[in-house]
Amino acid sequence: MNVELGLKHNETPGAQFQALNLLCHWAADGTRRMRSYVQILKGAYRNGHISATQQAAQHIVDFMAALDEYDFGDANVDLNDEYNV
């Protein structure tokens, strides 16, 4: 756990406290920023600047294009045949 926090066993308790305090402030600041970003995204969706439907449609188009580029080899598979394994 000490390695993950960037604390060393040989540091004084005061230095460890300062490092932990800094880490907590950094994490809290990141949480505040994330909340701010989420609020901006929610507003953009609500006001119609971003459309989930259009994004989903674009993902499908991109996925289909990626499938077209993928080489499946000599697999002659009938997708309509329910017993084709």
* Interval 51-81: pLDDT, tens: 988 889 999 999 998 888 876 665 566 666 6
Tokens of 61: 């188009």
C-alpha span between 10 and 2 (Å, rounded): 11
Q: What is the pTM of this model?
A: 0.43
Of the two residues 37 and 7, the one the predictor is more confident about is 37
pLDDT at 45 over 60: yes
Of the listed ranges 8-12, 24-28, 29-33, 54-58, the one predicted with least confidence: 8-12
- 3-state SS of the chain: helix, strand, coil percent to 5? 65, 0, 35
How high is the pLDDT of residue 9?
Answer: 60
pLDDT at 84 over 60: no
